[in-house]
Each structure stands twice: as structure tokens, then as C-alpha cells.
């Protein structure tokens, strides 16, 4: 029973981190109609930024968590203004291709700047070590922190989209760009802002994950497939869908890795295929109006 | 249309003559290296490159080999056999290398070694440990100076038997190296300690390059073994140790053996996070050999790169020197003559004298195992105590009957 | 360009290609073989992408399937190569039929993601099913014996293998060309441009899409079957999404609007890769930049942009 409990906690951990990243992907698709293949690379960039700020400049962890995603968001704005604006009006496959090109460029750039080796940063002192749980188990403090960050992001995003004007503008632009323009919403700004915000979320995920995982140039590739699966299971463009999808994928990893290790590579894809068979637009996705 | 083609032919002829002429001026002996230069184990390739270039600089400073300088080019195998094969073809046919060395991955070695006879150049393996390349896949072009799984696991089984732990399990990467490590470890452990219990149903083989080891950590902890063989390496081992630390893995009282844990690549990345009282294995430990060759090597390496040499660096360093000795003994760079010279050759090395067994071209070398102790302040990594240098001849099984050179 | 001139150039090109081993340095035989096989792979992808308008990011599943089929047959049964290739073609066909059945119901973005998922599923199976596929170490150590049909050729000789590949790829290419330029191909192109219109004409577009996807899978399997003996190993990476991305890149590079675009793209891609990797380790960076520029400014690919310019000039001459 203790094993199950640990596996579930693990699932929640993995799930919430994936949620932060997948929501960014959803926002970018929702508002820009762009599938951001480079989303994993932005996550990786967030992790490397955290490393550069903490290990290189010696910034404290809390400040790094603030600054690193902002830096990546700035990079995203640059990318949007210089590359993405050419493919907004074109068919979706073009944006997929362009963001794929961006992925290649970012991957190599990271390798050139920080080398090909593994980098490591430690959690700040108050978050090190483990908490003792009933049943003789211990759970790392930092993982609990990740749970908290995920929960706060969840609440914060919900409030943003449902209670603020900015959130409503983003949703409007996502639903019908021309109409939004007619209503004098500055769609240019909203688009760039959405992309930057999505990137910010991915980088936040990266910065939060950095003390838990080894930082290496391959980390982006792994996370992008995961985020795609989350978003497809949950439904493209759906916020609660992203949460549902992330939790499901977290459960697949946590429970599957524990009880079915021989199939743990294939399970997420089977899950994804199953969902799409019965609900082609994801569990909570809706068909976008033309 | 005759005039253009004639002048084209003339131009080509002139270019070839020019190229041939300039080549004769300082024609180096070319070595091609294939290592992991990307991905989570990229530092292994980087360190091998450092070791090799140290050897080349030293040799060239003393006049080179047979009056010719050595030159090396190192390319990335990306951990894929298909890539390594393409790279090897390019090196042999386009870049015209005379010798080759490398391979960090047993999987890559298993794919590349059968292709070597077509390429016709001697290949020195300095890291990949699968016994197959000097066993059922052996061919006359393949040599290995590094410890293979057989030799390492013989040493590991010895250490394991001494710890007194009874129930054993393993966590290893899900490819040849991980599986074969357990296969040979369990076989030798049973021989040395017949009452050992092998928990065959609870083995863990995460995918090589997996980021998240927590499910495997949890399941191993739950199965409550007495001892664990960990054959993870590179970025995997770094990730694993950090995640395991968080879960109190190393405080459960298991006897832990990390078969290739004493790699400076890993120890530097982990620093204090590598726990104490863990047995680490390696093919070369810079602090366990007291001879002039080692002293000179460690000194020169530290001076050049400000860190102690890893086993991958030492392997690459010795590959270059082994080639040098073989070429000088043969008096030529012809592949067949180098192979004849290298087979059975003994070369002075930081680990003592290195002999390439004629029957399968495997070097008779044993692993070094040690228990982690306090931090070595000067080198900024854990020190190793209770060092066991296993003697090559005693841990190397006889030539595999499937290998007929 | 009139037909007989086109035919003349095609024949001249084929003769040159056949004579390549005698004309170029030995290493280029390997380059040539690679270009031919990848060109076929990319052309099969373009049937789905350029002609039918579906962007698949899992095309390597069929390619990998074909490679494993041939490798396993060569390793355990030592069948003649042609027999193995036939099996690879059929294996690719069948797998594409199964996967396509699930995927063609969806449009655009979902299609891309689902093909990606299935592609990675094939990768996962190849990676973890150690007892059958030997896991990440792949199937290797097999030798290529005879070709079949009673022809006695030393396939182990790179030049001989290159010519065999050339003949097979040309024949496969002709077959594919026939399909693309038939009425079936026309309907596919119509589906790409305006699916609703075609549906209103009473045609079952899902069936046509599935047919295109399946045929493409067969030819991809054939390409994979040719690649396994060349690489001397069939490993899970052949089904990974990064391998699926290669025909995508090559098609964009060459031009998705013309039949020969993917072949040209394959040639450019392999030559660029060989050239750039000898200068720097950062080949991926240049690939990314080139792809970005192509997508942003030269969407029709090299062939497309060049031919478009020529056609535009011809149109200007005729008032």
C-alpha cells in the first residue's frame, strides 16, 4: 500500500510539472494557431538559464525562479517578431515546420554555449532532504515544493483566464481572431504576448525542474513528446483538458513505471491513441470554429 | 564540345598533382576516433579527446612515429551504431585514416565491429565493455584495451561476496551493457558465494537516458534486497544518485556496487552528493597506481586540464601509445603488419604493463574497485579507500571458444 | 520542355548515375546509395504530404518496419534480398493500413500528432521488445547474400549494391510516379486543395486518404528494407520521430509540389550534411537555419522556386 501511495505522489509530481509546460503549449496553439515544436527547447532553455544564473552569477534560487523565465520570454518575443510572424496566416503545417527549425537551432545553440556535458544545480538549503511520511516512507522536500508551484500556477491561470480582462482578451483572440481585431483588440500584441507567456510557462517548468533533473542538451526532446501527449489527451486549447491530460500522463508514468516497467515506453502512446480513437479532439477539446 | 572537357581534365590533373605533392611534405599518420560527443554522456567523449590529444602532443614533441607526426580527428557516434558505421566509412574512405579507436557504447560496438573487416583498418576499443566484441563477434581488426564486462564483474563478484550480503538485485540501463553486467555478475557471484540469492523477478532496467528513475528507485527499495549492483553510467548515474539521495536510498543499509561509478565525469558532476560507503568500480583510477608512467600521465593531464584524468581519458591516451608501439615494432603503417605487431604485444601503461592477448585481442587488465570515503579537497571529488587493483590475468576468463581469429 | 527532350535528359541522368562508381571517389558510392534510398523514403512521404495534404510526423514507423523485416529475414533465414524487400514492402503496407485507419479520420494538427504518437509507439516496441527486436542494440551481424532471380551478384561490394539500389529505386519511383499522375493522384490533389468540394462530389475522401497513406507506407517499407543492408543494422532509431523528420525536411528543401522535389531534397540534405559535418559539429544548427529560411521565404523548395521562376519568365514572354 505504501508503494501505491508513493507511486501516486510521484504521479502528481510528474503530472503537475507537465501541466505547467503543457498549458503553455495550449495557450500558444489557442491564440496563435501554432503548434510550438520548440516548446521543449524553451523548457530546456529555462533550466539552463536557471543554471547560468545560480551557478554562474550566484543568484539565490528564489530570484532565479523569477528571472530565468523572464529571460526566456524575452527570447520568445524575439523569435516571434523575427520568424513566426511569417507563418501566422499560413496553414498549420508551416508553423510546425518553422518551430521544428527553431527547435534544431535552440538545441545546437545550447550545446555551443554550455557544452555537451551534464550540469547540475542543487535545490536551495531549506528545500533539501526529505519529509518523513507515515508508513516509513520519505518524500523529497523539493518534490513537495514542485507540487505547490504546480498548484499555485493552476489557480493563478484559472484566475487569469476567467476573472481578468487580459485573460478574456486572450480567449477572444483564440476563438476568433478577425472578430477580435474588428473589436479593436490589438491582436498583434495579444499574439506576441501569448507566445511569450507560453514560453514563460515552459521556462518556469524548466527552472523548477532543474534541481531535480540533470541539465543536458537532450532534456528538451524528451519533454516535447510528453507535452504533445498531454495536450492531445486533454484537448487542444482546453485549460482543464491540459490539467486532466497531465494528471493522466503522470499516472501512467508513476504507476506504469512502478508496476509495468517493461512497457513503460509504450504506455503513454497507447493511452494517447485510445483517447483519440473515442474522442478525436481530446477528452475536453472542442472543434474550433472555422 | 571537346575543348571544355579537355581543359576540365587538365585542371583536375593539375589539382591532383598539386595535392599529391603537398601531401608528401608532412604526411601525418591519421587516427580516427569515434566517441560519444553529445547527449547525456557527452563528457566521456570530451575526456577521451583530452587524453588522446595529450598522448599525441607528447609523441609529436619527440619526433612522432617513424618520423611522421600523428593526427587525430574525433567524431560523434551519437550513441547509434548506424551513425558510427557511417562515420567509420567516411573516415576510412574519405579522410583516409590509418587507424581507428573509440566507442563508448556496447550497443554501438556490437553494430560496428562486424563491419570492421570490410574497412580493413585496426580498431582499438577503449571503453565499450560487451564481451562479444572479443568473443563471438571477434575479428582480427578489433582490439580492446579496456576492461570488459567479464573482467569487471569478476572483480565485482569478489567484492560482493566479501560484503556478506545475500539477496542481490540490479539497476542497469536497458541495453547490452546493463543486461550483460547482471548476467555475468550473477554467474560469478554464485560461483564465489553459492548461498547468494538472485532476485531475478525484481530487476530494474530503465531506458538509457531516462530522466526519471524514481519509479525504479521505489520498486527496488520496496523489494528490500541486501545488495544492489548498479551498472548505470554517465548522466543516468548522476540523475539516479541525486534522485536516490532524496529518497533515502543510500540510508537503507544496502550494500551498493556501482560497476563503473568511479568515472571522474560522474564524480565531478556529483561532488558531495556521491554518498560515502559505496563500492565504485572503474578500469582506471588515477590514485591507485604507484609507478612512473602513471605519475607522469596524471601530472601532465592535471596540468593541461586542471582535473584528474578519467578512465576514458586514460584509455584514449593508451590507445595512441599502443598504436605507436605497434607501428614502431612493425616498422610500417600497413594494417596487417600493425595487427601482427599488436597481437600479443606488451606496452607500459599507467596501470602497469598492458598485454594484448593474441587469442582474442583483449587486453589482460583488471578493474579497480574502491569504497567511497571523504571528499578529496584538491581534486574536488570523493576519494576512494580500500582500493583493490584486480590483476588482469586472474580476472580474465580464457579465450571464448566462439572467437576464432 | 517537350517530351523527347525530357526523356533524353532523364536517360542521360540515369546513365550518369549508373556510372557513378567509376567516375567519383569511392566514398561517394555510399553517399549516392544513401541519397537514393532516402529519396525514395521522402518521395513516399510526399505522396501523403504534397499530393494529399497530410503532414505525417510518423512516417519512419513504416521505414523502420521495413528495415527490421529485411534485417530479421537476412539474419535468421538468409533469404535472397528481393524476397526480403517484398516482405518489407508488404509489412510497411499493412502497418500503414492499420495506423492509417486510426489517423485519417482527423484533420491537420491532430493527424500530425497522432502519426507522431504511433511512430513513437513503433519505436517504443522496437526498443523494449528485447526478445524479438534485440532492443536498443538492434539487429546486426547479418550479411547480404544473394539478390534472387538467379542473378549472381556480390552484394557486399558497395558499388554493386549501389547499382542494385539504383535500379530498384528507379523502378519504384516510376511506379510511384504513375500513381501520382493517375486519376487517383488527381483526386488526391483535389482533396488537398478542397476536401469539402470533393466530398460533395460523392467521393469517400477518407478512403482515398487511407489508400494514399497505405501506399506511401509500402514504399517507405521498401526504402527501409534497402537501408538495413546498407547500414548493416536495424535499430529502433529508424522509427524515431527524428527519422520521421528527415523526409519532411528533404521534401521542404526540394519542393513538395513536384514529383522529383523529394529526391532533389534528399540529395541536397545528404550532401549538405556530409559537407557541413566535416567542418563543424554543429550541423543541426545549420539545418535548422536552412529549414527556417526555406519555410519562411522559399516555401516551394529549391525545385519549386526555380521552376516557378522559369515558368513565370515564360509566361511573361507570352503576352
DSSP for B313-356 reads: HHHHHHHHHHHHHHHHHHTS--HHHHHHHHTT-EEEETTEEEEB
Question: Which subunits have 3 or more CB–CB pairs within 8 Å of chain A?
Answer: B, C
Q: Which residue of C has its CA nearest to A84?
A: C296
Average model confidence (pLDDT) across chain A: 83
Q: Residue B329, Cβ neighbours under 10 Å: how many? A: 15
- Compute the distance between CA of residue C262 and CA of residue C251 in angstroms, rounded to an integer: 4
3-state secondary structure of B102: strand
- Residue pLDDT, tens place only, C155-164: 788 888 999 9
Residue B265 touches partner A, C-beta closer than 8 Å: yes
CB contact under 8 A, A92 and C109: yes
Phi-psi region of C36 (alpha: psi -120 to 50; beta: other; left: phi over 0): alpha
Q: CB within 8 A of B137, min separation 6: which ones? A: B110, B113, B114, C141
| H or E segment and range at residue A268 | helix A267-278
Specify burial of residue C152 (Cβ count, 10 A radius: 0-12, 13-18, 19+): exposed
Q: For the stretch A64-81, what's the b/e string if a residue is b when 16 or more beta carbons lie within 10 angstroms of its beta carbon?
A: bbebbbebbbebbeebbe
| Higher-pLDDT residue of C151, B323 | B323
Q: CB within 8 A of A67, min separation 6: which ones? A: A49, A53, A59
Q: How confident is the model at residue B176 (pLDDT cuts 50, 70, 90)?
A: confident
Rounded to a whole number of angstroms, the distance from the CA of A271 to the nearest CA of chain C is 10
- Residue pLDDT, tens place only, A190-207: 888 889 999 999 999 999
Rounded to a whole number of angstroms, the distance from the CA of C295 to the nearest CA of chain A is 6
pLDDT value at residue A191: 84
Residue A230 lies in a domain: no
3-state secondary structure of B12: helix
Mutate to test the interface with A, among C121, C130, C135, C286 (most CBs of A within 10 A): C121
Q: Which residue of C has its CA nearest to B77?
A: C281
| Higher-pLDDT residue of B82, C224 | C224
Cell of B351: 596501470
Rounded to a whole number of angstroms, the distance from the CA of A119 to the nearest CA of chain B is 7
CB contact under 8 A, A116 and B43: yes
CB contact under 8 A, A93 and C121: no
**pLDDT exceeds 80 at position A261:** no
How much is the pTM? Answer: 0.85
CB contact under 8 A, A104 and C291: yes
Residue B205 touches partner A, C-beta closer than 8 Å: yes
Q: Are strands B99-102 and B29-35 parallel, antiparallel or unpaired?
A: parallel
CB contact under 8 A, B94 and C27: yes
Residues from chain B that touch A258, judged by Cβ atoms under 8 A, are 215, 218-219
0.85 surpassed by complex ipTM: no
pLDDT value at residue C1: 61
CB contact under 8 A, C110 and A111: no
**So where are chain C's domains?**
24-240
- Residue pLDDT, tens place only, C272-287: 888 887 777 777 788 8
Rounded to a whole number of angstroms, the distance from the CA of A93 to the nearest CA of chain C is 7
Q: How confident is the model at residue C303 (pLDDT cuts 50, 70, 90)?
A: confident
Range of the domain at A74: 15-115+123-128+140-217
Which of A3, A217, A222 is opposite residue B211, by nearest beta carbon? Answer: A222
Residue A146 lies in a domain: yes
Q: How confident is the model at residue B10 (pLDDT cuts 50, 70, 90)?
A: very low
Cell of C192: 488537398
Q: Domain tally for chain A?
A: 1
Residues of A in CB contact (< 8 Å) with C are 29, 35, 83, 86-87, 90-94, 96-98, 100-105, 107-109, 111-112, 221, 225, 228-229, 231-232, 236, 262-263, 265-266, 269-270, 272-273, 276-277, 280-281
**pLDDT exceeds 90 at position C78:** no
Under DSSP, the state recorded for B311 is H
pLDDT value at residue C145: 74
Residues from chain B that touch C238, judged by Cβ atoms under 8 A, are 82
**pLDDT exceeds 60 at position B5:** no
Q: What is the 3-state secondary structure (H, E, C) of A115-183?
A: CCCCECCCCCHHHCCEEEECCCEEEEHHHHHHHHHHHHHHHHHHHHHHHCHHHHHHHHHHHCHHHHHHC
- Compute the distance between CA of residue C101 and CA of residue C221 in angstroms, rounded to an integer: 18
Q: How confident is the model at residue A2 (pLDDT cuts 50, 70, 90)?
A: low
**pLDDT exceeds 70 at position B24:** no
Q: Residue C80, Cβ neighbours under 10 Å: how many? A: 18
**pLDDT exceeds 50 at position B11:** no
Q: Which of B188, B217, B220 is nearest to B202 (CA)?
A: B220
Q: CB within 8 A of A45, min separation 6: which ones? A: A72, A75, A106, A110, A203, A206, A220
CB contact under 8 A, B94 and C231: no
Mutate to test the interface with B, among A117, A142, A215 (most CBs of B within 10 A): A117
pLDDT value at residue A189: 83
CB B36 within 8 A of CB B74: no
List where CATH 3.40.50.2300 sits in chain B: 29-147+290-355, 150-282+367-395
- Compute the distance between CA of residue B178 and CA of residue B180 in angstroms, rounded to an integer: 6
CB interface of C with B, residues 206-225, below 8 Å: none
pLDDT value at residue B1: 42
Average model confidence (pLDDT) across chain C: 89
Q: Of A114-128, A146-160, B10-24, B354-368, which range is least confident? A: B10-24
Phi-psi region of A244 (alpha: psi -120 to 50; beta: other; left: phi over 0): alpha
Rounded to a whole number of angstroms, the distance from the CA of B19 to the nearest CA of chain C is 15
CB contact under 8 A, A236 and C55: no
- Residue pLDDT, tens place only, A155-182: 898 888 888 887 887 777 766 666 777 7
Q: CB within 8 A of B107, min separation 6: which ones? A: B79, B81, B175, B176, B177, C136, C137, C138, C235
Q: How confident is the model at residue C174 (pLDDT cuts 50, 70, 90)?
A: very high
Q: For domain B150-282+367-395, give its CATH number from 3.90.226.10, 3.40.190.10, 3.90.320.10, 3.40.50.2300.
A: 3.40.50.2300
pLDDT value at residue A1: 61
pLDDT value at residue C315: 87
Q: Are strands B29-35 and B70-76 parallel, antiparallel or unpaired?
A: parallel
CB C300 within 8 A of CB A130: no
The domain defined by B29-147+290-355 carries CATH number 3.40.50.2300? yes
- Residue pLDDT, tens place only, A127-156: 877 777 776 667 788 888 888 888 898 889
Cell of A92: 498549420
**pLDDT exceeds 60 at position B8:** no
Amino acid at each position: 500500500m505504501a508503494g501505491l501511495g508513493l507511486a501516486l505522489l510521484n504521479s502528481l509530481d510528474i503530472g503537475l510539472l507537465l501541466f505547467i509546460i503543457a498549458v503553455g503549449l495550449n495557450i500558444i496553439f489557442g491564440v496563435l494557431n501554432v503548434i510550438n515544436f520548440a516548446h521543449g527547447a524553451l523548457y530546456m532553455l529555462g533550466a539552463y538559464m536557471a543554471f547560468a544564473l545560480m551557478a554562474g552569477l550566484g543568484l539565490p534560487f528564489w530570484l532565479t525562479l523569477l528571472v530565468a523565465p523572464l529571460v526566456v520570454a524575452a527570447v520568445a518575443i524575439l523569435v516571434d517578431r523575427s520568424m513566426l510572424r511569417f507563418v501566422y496566416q499560413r496553414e498549420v503545417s508551416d508553423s510546425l515546420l518553422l518551430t521544428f527549425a527553431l527547435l534544431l537551432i535552440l538545441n545546437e545553440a545550447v550545446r555551443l554555449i554550455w557544452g555537451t556535458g551534464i550540469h547540475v544545480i542543487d535545490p536551495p538549503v531549506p528545500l533539501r532532504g526529505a519529509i518523513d511520511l507515515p508508513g516509513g516512507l520519505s518524500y523529497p522536500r523539493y518534490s513537495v515544493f514542485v507540487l505547490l508551484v504546480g498548484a499555485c500556477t493552476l489557480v493563478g491561470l484559472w484566475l487569469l483566464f476567467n476573472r481578468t480582462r487580459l485573460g478574456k482578451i486572450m480567449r477572444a483572440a483564440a476563438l476568433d481572431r478577425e472578430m477580435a481585431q474588428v473589436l479593436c483588440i490589438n491582436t498583434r500584441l495579444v499574439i506576441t504576448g501569448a507566445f511569450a507567456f507560453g514560453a514563460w510557462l515552459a521556462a518556469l517548468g524548466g527552472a523548477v525542474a532543474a534541481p531535480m533533473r540533470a541539465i543536458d542538451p537532450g532534456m528538451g526532446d524528451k519533454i516535447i513528446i510528453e507535452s504533445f501527449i498531454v495536450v492531445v489527451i486533454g484537448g487542444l486549447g482546453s485549460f482543464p483538458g491540459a490539467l486532466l491530460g497531465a494528471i493522466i500522463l503522470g499516472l501512467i508514468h508513476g504507476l506504469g513505471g512502478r508496476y509495468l516497467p517493461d512497457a513503460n515506453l509504450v504506455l503513454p502512446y497507447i493511452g494517447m491513441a485510445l483517447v483519440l480513437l473515442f474522442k478525436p479532439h481530446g477528452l475536453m477539446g472542442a472543434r474550433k470554429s472555422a | 564540345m571537346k575543348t571544355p572537357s579537355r581543359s576540365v581534365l587538365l585542371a583536375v590533373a593539375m589539382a591532383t598533382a598539386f595535392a599529391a605533392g603537398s601531401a608528401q611534405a608532412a604526411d601525418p599518420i591519421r587516427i580516427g576516433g569515434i566517441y560519444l560527443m553529445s547527449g547525456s554522456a557527452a563528457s566521456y567523449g570530451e575526456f577521451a579527446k583530452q587524453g588522446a590529444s595529450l598522448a599525441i602532443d607528447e609523441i609529436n614533441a619527440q619526433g612522432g612515429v617513424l618520423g611522421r607526426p600523428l593526427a587525430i580527428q574525433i567524431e560523434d557516434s551519437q550513441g547509434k551504431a548506424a551513425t558510427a558505421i557511417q562515420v567509420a566509412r567516411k573516415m576510412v574512405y574519405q579522410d583516409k585514416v590509418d587507424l581507428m579507436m573509440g566507442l563508448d557504447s556496447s550497443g554501438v560496438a556490437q553494430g560496428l565491429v562486424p563491419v570492421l573487416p570490410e574497412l580493413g583498418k585496426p580498431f582499438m576499443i577503449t571503453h565499450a565493455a560487451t564481451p562479444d566484441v572479443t568473443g563471438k563477434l571477434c575479428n582480427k581488426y578489433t582490439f580492446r584495451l579496456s576492461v570488459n564486462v567479464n573482467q569487471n564483474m569478476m572483480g565485482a563478484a569478489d567484492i560482493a561476496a566479501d560484503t556478506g550480503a545475500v539477496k542481490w538485485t540490479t539497476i542497469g540501463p536497458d541495453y547490452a551493457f546493463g543486461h550483460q553486467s547482471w548476467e555475468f555478475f550473477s554467474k560469478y557471484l554464485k560461483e564465489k558465494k553459492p548461498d547468494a540469492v538472485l532476485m531475478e523477478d525484481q530487476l530494474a532496467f530503465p531506458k538509457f537516458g531516462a530522466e526519471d528513475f524514481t519509479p525504479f528507485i521505489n520498486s527496488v527499495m520496496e523489494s528490500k534486497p541486501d545488495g544492489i549492483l548498479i551498472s548505470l553510467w554517465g548522466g543516468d548515474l548522476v540523475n539516479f544518485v541525486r534522485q536516490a539521495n532524496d529518497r533515502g536510498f543510500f540510508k537503507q543499509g544496502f550494500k551498493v556496487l556501482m560497476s563503473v561509478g568511479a568515472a571522474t565525469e560522474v564524480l565531478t558532476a556529483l561532488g558531495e552528493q556521491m554518498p560515502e560507503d559505496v563500492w565504485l568500480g572503474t578500469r582506471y583510477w588515477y590514485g591507485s597506481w604507484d609507478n612512473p608512467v602513471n605519475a607522469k600521465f596524471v601530472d601532465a593531464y592535471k596540468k593541461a586540464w586542471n582535473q584528474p584524468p578519467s578512465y576514458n581519458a586514460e584509455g584514449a591516451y593508451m590507445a595512441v601509445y599502443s598504436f605507436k608501439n605497434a607501428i614502431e615494432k612493425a616498422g610500417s603503417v600497413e594494417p596487417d603488419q600493425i595487427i601482427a605487431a599488436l597481437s600479443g604485444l606488451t606496452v607500459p601503461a599507467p596501470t602497469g604493463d598492458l598485454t594484448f592477448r593474441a587469442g582474442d585481442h583483449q587486453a589482460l587488465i583488471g578493474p579497480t574497485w574502491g569504497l567511497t570515503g571523504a571528499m578529496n579537497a584538491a581534486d574536488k571529488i570523493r576519494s576512494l579507500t580500500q582500493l583493490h587493483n584486480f590483476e588482469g590475468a586472474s580476472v580474465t576468463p580464457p579465450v571464448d571458444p566462439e572467437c576464432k581469429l | 520542355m517537350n517530351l523527347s527532350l525530357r526523356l533524353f535528359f532523364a536517360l542521360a541522368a540515369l546513365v550518369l548515375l549508373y556510372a557513378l562508381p567509376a567516375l567519383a571517389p569511392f566514398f561517394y558510392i555510399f553517399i549516392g546509395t544513401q541519397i537514393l534510398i532516402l529519396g525514395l523514403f521522402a518521395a513516399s512521404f510526399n505522396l501523403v504530404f504534397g499530393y494529399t495534404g497530410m503532414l505525417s510526423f510518423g512516417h519512419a514507423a513504416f521505414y523502420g518496419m521495413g528495415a527490421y523485416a529485411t534485417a530479421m529475414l537476412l539474419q535468421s533465414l538468409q533469404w535472397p534480398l528481393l524476397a526480403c524487400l517484398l516482405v518489407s514492402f508488404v509489412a510497411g503496407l499493412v502497418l500503414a493500413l492499420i495506423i492509417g485507419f486510426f489517423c485519417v479520420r482527423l484533420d491537420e494538427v491532430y493527424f500530425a500528432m497522432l502519426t507522431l504518437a504511433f511512430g513513437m509507439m513503433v519505436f517504443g516496441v522496437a526498443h523494449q521488445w528485447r526478445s524479438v527486436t534485440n532492443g536498443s542494440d538492434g539487429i546486426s551481424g547479418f550479411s547480404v547474400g544473394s539478390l534472387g532471380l538467379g542473378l549472381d551478384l556480390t552484394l557486399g561490394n558497395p558499388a554493386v549494391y549501389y547499382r542494385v539500389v539504383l535500379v530498384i529505386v528507379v523502378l519504384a519511383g516510376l511506379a510511384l510516379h504513375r500513381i501520382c499522375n493517375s486519376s487517383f493522384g488527381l483526386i488526391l490533389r483535389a482533396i488537398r486543395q478542397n476536401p469539402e468540394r470533393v466530398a460533395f462530389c460523392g467521393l469517400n475522401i477518407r478512403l482515398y486518404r487511407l489508400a494514399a497513406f497505405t501506399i506511401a507506407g509500402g514504399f517507405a517499407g521498401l526504402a527501409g528494407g534497402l537501408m538495413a543492408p546498407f547500414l548493416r543494422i536495424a535499430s529502433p532509431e529508424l522509427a524515431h520521430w527524428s527519422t520521421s523528420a528527415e523526409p519532411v525536411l528533404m521534401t521542404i528543401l526540394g519542393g513538395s509540389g513536384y514529383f522529383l522535389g523529394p529526391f532533389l531534397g534528399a540529395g541536397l540534405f545528404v550532401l549538405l550534411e556530409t559537407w557541413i559535418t566535416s567542418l563543424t559539429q554543429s550541423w543541426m544548427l545549420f539545418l535548422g537555419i536552412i529549414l527556417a529560411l526555406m519555410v519562411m521565404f522559399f516555401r516551394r523548395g529549391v525545385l519549386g522556386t526555380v521552376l516557378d521562376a522559369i515558368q513565370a519568365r515564360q509566361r511573361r514572354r507570352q503576352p
